[in-house]
Structure 1
Amino acid sequence: MAVHETSMRLKLPIVCIILEVILIILFAVLVTYDDDTDARKWHKELKANRTTNYENDFYYRYPSFQDVHVMIFIGFGFLMTFLQRYGFSSVGFNFLIAAFSLQWATLMQGFLHGMHHGKIHIGVESMINADFCTGSVLISFGAVLGKTSPVQLLIMAVFEVTLFAINEFIILSVLEAKDAGGSMTIHTFGAYFGLVVARVLYRPQLHKSKHKNGSVYHSDLFAMIGTIFLWMFWPSFNSAVTEHGDDQHRTAMNTYYSLASCTLATFGISALVNNEGKLDMVHIQNAALAGGVAVGTAGEMMLTPFGSMIVGFLAGTISTLGFKFLTPILEEKLRIQDTCGVHNLHGMPGILGAIVGAITASVASTNVYGDGMKDVFPNIAEGTFTPSGQGVRQAISLAVTLGFAGVGGVIVGFILKLPCLGSPPDTICFEDNIYWEVPGDEESHQELAQVQQGDVVSPLNG
């Protein structure tokens, strides 16, 4: 028994150390600074062109990067703290998975989006794109939250980042679709990948931990902190890598109004579907953010302010109704145990965003865009694609994303079922004490000890 427990205890340290050593070696061999980051190249350009440091891309992109970074580590992390006895794991594993994923994403995206002289050149924009990829992994994390070990999550991240980068390359570079805010590449892919993994990892005895799969007053308040951070910074998220100037300005504004409209829809529908007319904090924490997801693809397009508000209103309505009526059906009929409701916040609004993007692209014209057509739809401006052709490519991109998410989720799900990865038993899911030293929680310690004295041994850090 002691040998078995020691083996389980070593899994997380071994996996973390091996993965980081591999990353360090790969970075040493393959990664270098880009022209805006390299001291020698930037200094040479300064002398030649007599420019200023403020022309460095850092000054344009870093404020957006900061906002996106806050969303990844605070927004997503605290949004998942609603579980009453899984707060440490929600924030802590979010931290762990994000720190690994952004490094791995730098490499995967670098491989596919162009290497120069055998090197991946990185700068502030590559940091933003790596965070976008990380966001998709954290969305999937929400679907399996509380039911997976940290080792399983790291293995999932290894495969998902790779699949994300391939899917992103096909959509943006091969199909040449537009997806500024990632409705397809980030939200739709992350949601349905996570949902398929959750389906493969279905736990028929999860009701044994059902009493822990819920919130208390203070845990919902902590989760609301994540919601507010995400809500505030979502305009930066959607506009972070768009062209400087009117494109970026328009994307932030469209997102701003979509979120506001979505919030009112969420409050209204939440009260409407409750028999007593009361608000459900689950709806407010999640569905109020759906407007940011749904406007992601069309954010840089001439969607118009009122069009953005319509999209946000539809997203809030669909998401709230999904939490109320669809989530129970997914679990009971389709055996998809979606802990955080990512289908409602990211999946359905992501598909809505892809559809809105396809429709908006298909009606693009020079009367609407003027000279700005070459920034938003360069292929239409050059005559390579017709507006309807661009719309078709947008629709095909959605289908490709769903295909990658579905097939990839099945394969990765079966890999995660391997016993050596230390999945927690059904009886102690949604429990911090499996992995963390939790101060002053005697009740949980006693419950965990009772389980360990039986036939089930805690997976510890596995």
Structure 2
Amino acid sequence: MAWNTNLRWRLPLICFLLEAAMVILFGVFVRYNPEADPHWEEEKRQHNISSDIENDFYYRYPSFQDVHVMIFVGFGFLMTFLQRYGFSSVGFNFLLAAFGIQWALLMQGWFHSFEDGHILISVENLINADFCVGSVCVAFGAVLGKVSPIQLLIMTLIQVTLFSVNEYILLNLLHVKDAGGSMTIHTFGAYFGLMVTWILFRPNLEQSKERQSSVYHSDLFAMIGTLFLWMYWPSFNSAVSKHGDAQHRAAINTYCSLAACVLTTVALSSALQRKGKLDMVHIQNATLAGGVAVGTAAEMMLMPYGSLIVGFICGIVSTFGFVYLTPFLESRLRIQDTCGIHNLHGMPGIIGGIVGSVTAATANVGIYGKEGFIKAFDFEGPKSDWTSQIQAGYQAAGIFVSLTMAIVGGAIVGVILKFPLWGDPADENCFEDEVYWEVPKDEESHMYRPEEPALKPVAS
């Protein structure tokens, strides 16, 4: 078969232009945070800091490493389940994430760390940039196999921009607590991606249906991504929490929720399948839903048993979604969700927002202690007269703001990507690496071709 999508001039031009823009903008705006600057020695003397170990780098960098692995290895390999799209799943995820973190450092920097005409970046900025790109990786799952690398770069450019605006509204204007990003990362990313794929609906996608399935080794590669995500999710949810008890709680709550989610996913996967066999799709995806749903309340006093309940519920909801809701969305609502992000990120993200609101509403001095209560929700300064019920109301409002931003933004991006000049594959060429990659010849000869019937033995 001939693959006729040619990006020889368009893709290099777009990549060079975007990177040139990043170099110029970084040169104009970006500088080191004082703790990454040679003047740190003077800062230490002025603030009576005795050791370099008190530099924020030593607290944050281990978490940054974990989150970084999740973005580039976890998400990348999670999407390799498609039998002929492994190069694109890992490679395009690599591309969009590498560009996205640069643009996120700028966008988030302008909103959160802009001082005296410069963006001051530290290791915490690097973590937040990875969080932002994580939302793009979520959206990528909905359009996986159906878009070109140019379309992904354009989607990343606009989504990072909208993510930063949405994040600023929630965290700075509504004062929402969302340590693990259930609302800002997962809800926003999922419904943004679903809206894009809805606009880009392909009525003749059945022509590529045989390539939308998995084979034994592709599912095994995808499971590698699942395990990396599952192991490092406690770091993801606690990475930017305040040092001390809040960060400690976030890791414990996430750990417990993920563990419970695995058992309920396995149980329901077996119960819903013929002959009680497990479905690898459920094990690869629904087992992670507990980490998504505990994100907003991760650093709150959710209690370990509460975390188990959240994981228990999300394993059920996510698995049911893969079995019943995904086919319904495609057949009735024309939403072709390749990776099932609605089940792993969308619904669990909304559940996470609700859990966060309810947990905030029940918070009191008896649970947190007087100083702990004030510290946990920043009830000081302009929020000194807030109550837990007011905080809960703003938490709930954050869900609707994220959904609105995602739906409107996704629709706009979908319309832009629909223009016929971005080199997207034809319906019959979707989910196929050979459209954009040089595939080794031995792979072309047997692995990337429909299985042929076995030859009958020749009579001697």
Answer yes or no: same fold by TM over 0.5: yes
Aligned position for 2:305? 306
Q: How does 1:418-433 map to 2 (within 5 A)?
A: 418-433=419-434
Aligned position for 2:438? 437
Say whether 1:389 aligns with 2:390.
Answer: yes
> Bigger shift: 104-113 or 227-236?
104-113
Aligned position for 1:321? 320
CA distance in 1 between partners of 2:49 and 2:417 (Å):
55
CA distance in 2 between partners of 1:392 and 1:116 (Å):
32
Aligned position for 2:457? none
Structure 1 contact 243–375 (Cα < 8 Å) conserved: no
- Secondary structure of the residue that 1:276 maps to in structure 2? helix
Amino acid at match of 1:45: E
Aligned position for 1:45? 43
Amino acid at match of 1:79: L
Amino acid at match of 1:393: Y
TM-aligned CA deviation for residue 111 of structure 1: 1.1
Q: How does 1:217-232 map to 2 (within 5 A)?
A: 217-232=216-231
CA RMSD in angstroms comes to 1.6
Corresponding residue pairs, total? 443
- Secondary structure of the residue that 1:441 maps to in structure 2? helix
Q: How does 1:197-212 map to 2 (within 5 A)?
A: 197-212=196-211
Structure 2 contact 329–336 (Cα < 8 Å) conserved: yes
CA distance in 2 between partners of 1:122 and 1:170 (Å):
21
Deviations 1:252-292 (CA, angstroms, capped at 9, x unpaired): 00000000000001000100111210100000000000000
Q: How does 1:381-420 map to 2 (within 5 A)?
A: 383-420=384-421
When normalised by structure 2's length, the TM-score is 0.94
Deviations 1:342-367 (CA, angstroms, capped at 9, x unpaired): 00000000000000000111111000
CA distance in 1 between partners of 2:102 and 2:281 (Å):
32
Amino acid at match of 1:442: E
Q: How does 1:54-73 map to 2 (within 5 A)?
A: 54-73=53-72
TM-aligned CA deviation for residue 447 of structure 1: 7.8
Q: 1:78 to 1:446 in 2, by over 3 A?
A: closer
Aligned position for 1:372? 372
Amino acid at match of 1:129: N
Q: How does 1:45-124 map to 2 (within 5 A)?
A: 45-48=43-46, 49=48, 51-124=50-123
TM-aligned CA deviation for residue 446 of structure 1: 9.5
- Secondary structure of the residue that 1:289 maps to in structure 2? helix
**Percent pairwise identity:** 62
Q: 1:50 to 1:164 in 2, by over 3 A?
A: closer
CA distance in 2 between partners of 1:163 and 1:289 (Å):
25
Aligned position for 2:180? 181
TM-aligned CA deviation for residue 332 of structure 1: 0.2
Aligned position for 1:451? none
TM-aligned CA deviation for residue 8 of structure 1: 3.4
TM-aligned CA deviation for residue 388 of structure 1: 1.1
TM-aligned CA deviation for residue 44 of structure 1: 1.0
Deviations 1:6-48 (CA, angstroms, capped at 9, x unpaired): 97321111111100000010000000000110112x0212344
CA distance in 2 between partners of 1:307 and 1:265 (Å):
15
Q: 1:258 to 1:447 in 2, by over 3 A?
A: closer
CA distance in 1 between partners of 2:7 and 2:100 (Å):
23
Structure 2 contact 196–414 (Cα < 8 Å) conserved: yes
Q: 1:446 to 1:259 in 2, by over 3 A?
A: closer
- Secondary structure of the residue that 2:120 maps to in structure 1? strand
CA distance in 2 between partners of 1:447 and 1:10 (Å):
29
Q: 1:67 to 1:8 in 2, by over 3 A?
A: closer
Aligned position for 2:7? 8
Deviations 1:228-262 (CA, angstroms, capped at 9, x unpaired): 00000000000000000110000000000000000
Amino acid at match of 1:217: Y
- Secondary structure of the residue that 1:120 maps to in structure 2? strand
Aligned position for 1:453? none
CA distance in 2 between partners of 1:159 and 1:383 (Å):
36
Structure 1 contact 380–386 (Cα < 8 Å) conserved: no
Amino acid at match of 2:374: K
Structure 1 contact 433–444 (Cα < 8 Å) conserved: no
- 4+ residue stretches of structure 1 with deviation over 4 A? 443-448
Amino acid at match of 1:406: I
Aligned position for 1:143? 142
Flag structure 2 segments of 5+ consecutive residues without an equivalent: 451-460
- Secondary structure of the residue that 2:7 maps to in structure 1? helix
CA distance in 2 between partners of 1:158 and 1:236 (Å):
26
Structure 2 contact 84–448 (Cα < 8 Å) conserved: no
- Secondary structure of the residue that 1:320 maps to in structure 2? helix
Structure 1 contact 433–445 (Cα < 8 Å) conserved: no
Amino acid at match of 1:425: A
CA distance in 1 between partners of 2:49 and 2:19 (Å):
41
Structure 2 contact 139–194 (Cα < 8 Å) conserved: yes
Flag structure 1 segments of 5+ consecutive residues without an equivalent: 449-462
Q: 1:446 to 1:127 in 2, by over 3 A?
A: closer
Deviations 1:311-365 (CA, angstroms, capped at 9, x unpaired): 0100111000000000000000000000000000000000000000001111110
